[in-house]
Structure 1
Amino acid sequence: MLQLRHSVARSTLRAVCLASASLWVVGSGALTVRAEAAPVPVVQGAFASDRLSVEVVGDGPDVVLIPGLASSREVWRAEADRLQPTHRVHLVQLAGFAGAPWTHGDGPFVEPVVGDLARYIREAGLERPAVIGHSMGGLSALLLAQGHPGLVGKVMSVDSLPFFSAMFGPQVTPESARPFAAQAAAGILSADEAGFRTHQAQGAIGLARDPATREAIVDWSMATDRRAMATAMSEVMTTDARPGLAAMTTPVWAVYASDADGGAPAAMADAVWGREYAALPGVRLIRVDDARHFIMADRPERFAELVDQFLAD
């Protein structure tokens, strides 16, 4: 989820949403950053979708990795390479993001993706896989577990809230966020190429520490279909998974970032994540210090340690 530090300087929800609208993108920091097109996916079985593709590597218990908005699956590459000797890893690429084809205009985004994730798990014959999602991918993982609890073994959400716009205050609702979501989407669509790139480069500084990661953030977002990005951003800003938390039986780990030097202060991060996940029975909240939004990039060794604990739990 976008760094909480944006909320410190907010004057209105509108200002913050418009400032951050085009920045919910990916990088891989200390991971191997690859801004070029992703390799041709090896898709499990005969699964076909115009909403996502899946590259499968390794052998063993199944792990599904979902990237965030405007992300390439390459954000997970180092983690997939590390896991594949012991796990079968399913790297998801969402249509419209980071150069993947998009054929749906300004049609719906999140719900069809969640539906096809569920269909993939069924058709590929996965048995209650672990699902790890970053940012928007974390929200998608929560929605997947809520809508299809029998398909998902466990969920790790990485710097992701069940209601994105709650970072702007506990009083915000999907309805009150709706006008600002529309304005954020309009800003994404109307920006010229040069201005959009500049905005992405400025925002990337707050999302990752590593210069190579910041470059990848810009490259991937520039390769993303603007209509897909605008629609996804608008939907995420107005999608509230909190009402379904109390009934969830799927184990959830919520890993979130804190960075005293330009990121979310620890006390603020603790307060927001604790408040927003309060209704989820048994949730395990884990703060990772000295990291910004891309925890897997800023603290790769710590993140790998957490993933191993999560998978073994």
Structure 2
Amino acid sequence: MKKIFALVLILLMGALFLNVFAQDKQPSFSVKTSGKGKQAILFIPGFTCSGDVWNETTTHLGNKYTSHVFTMAGYAGSPAQAAPNLDVWIEDIVAYVRKNKLDHPVIIGHSLGGGLAMALASRYPDLFGKIIVVDALPCLGSLWNPSFKSEAQPDCSAMESQIMPLTDSQLYKMQKRTAVQLCADTLAQKSIVKWGATTDKKTYADTYCQFANMDQRESIGQIKIPALVLLEARFVNFKPAIEDQYKQMKTATLKFADKGLHFIMYDDKEWYLNQIDQFLQ
């Protein structure tokens, strides 16, 4: 009887181990590809967003490029990882580029995706061809707090305690309030709200906390490839501070949108697409 009990215990522990291992091995992202161009472009969406945020952009670019559109794990209803980590996401994107033998792809990232794009280009300066950052800063925290300092291991428990208890209805209402502050296009707001409301709450809390802790003001000095930074219209009011954040990124050209809010691809689409076309050509 003792031997049978011990065997059952071992099997149960093994099943538990496999389950935890399987959760930990959940991929960092899913990817949709389109286009048939020789030049590859990686599209990394912003916080809680689906890769569908790039639909108008990839349609505009058409077959001139091959688009690789990412949706990060846990965002917009996609399967979540047990322990979401931005550094792991960065390394997994690098592994994707190498596995698929992409030759110096362009990176286009919005918001959090822009932060990841800068990290990729600074850590792997020879792997990519160009970078476009859409409304992201090397250190968002320092824009409001000049004495901001990044922590080696940020404590995300406070953020988790705010987000985890929310009901689906409460999360939806929070996203609805936030969307109007980030996007002027009322039709696009509906998609943004849906993506945020269906994002895994632990992923929401942990990745927001990690993103808010990022300080890349010095590390972006390692970026040697051509860089275009497209910023929302309101940021022109903080132009000196923003230029100071980007001063180490010698290859960067900063441009401010004429109108709209954070989702430039919706709010100032014609200007945004024109800037991308000129830069890529």
* Same fold flag (TM > 0.5): yes
| Cα distance, 1:285–1:185 mapped onto 2, change above 3 Å | farther
Cα RMSD for the two superposed structures: 1.9
1:53 alignment partner in structure 2: 30
2:121 alignment partner in structure 1: 145
Counterpart of 2:243, as a letter, is G
1:196 alignment partner in structure 2: 171
**Runs of 4+ in structure 1 over 6 Å off:** none
Give the C-alpha shift of residue 193 in structure 1: 2.4
- Residues in 1 aligned to 2:253 and 2:153: alpha-carbon distance in whole angstroms: 28
| Cα distance, 1:118–1:265 mapped onto 2, change above 3 Å | closer
2:269 alignment partner in structure 1: 300
2:236 alignment partner in structure 1: 266
TM-score by length of 1: 0.77
- Residues in 1 aligned to 2:84 and 2:125: alpha-carbon distance in whole angstroms: 23
Counterpart of 2:61, as a letter, is L
Counterpart of 2:51, as a letter, is R
Structure 2, unaligned stretches of length 5 or more?
1-24
2:64 equivalent among 73, 76, 86: 86
Number of paired residues?
256
Give the C-alpha shift of residue 112 in structure 1: 1.0
Which one has more relative contact order, counting CA pairs under 8 Å at least 6 apart? 1
- Residues in 1 aligned to 2:32 and 2:64: alpha-carbon distance in whole angstroms: 16
* 1:58–1:89 CA contact under 8 A, matched in 2: yes
Alpha-carbon displacement from aligned partner over 1:13-58 (angstroms, at most 9, x marks no partner): xxxxxxxxxxxxxxxxxxxxxxxxxxxxxxxxxxx97111111111
2:227 alignment partner in structure 1: 252
Q: Secondary structure at the match of 2:74?
A: coil
Q: Give identity over the alignment, percent.
A: 27
- Structure 1, 245-254 or 207-216: larger mean CA deviation: 245-254
Q: Does 1:133 align with 2:109?
A: yes
TM-score by length of 2: 0.86
Give the C-alpha shift of residue 223 in structure 1: 1.0
Alpha-carbon displacement from aligned partner over 1:76-125 (angstroms, at most 9, x marks no partner): 011111112211111111111001111x32x2421111111111111111
Q: Does 1:123 align with 2:110?
A: no
Higher Rg: 2
2:45 alignment partner in structure 1: 67
- Structure 1, 210-219 or 92-101: larger mean CA deviation: 210-219
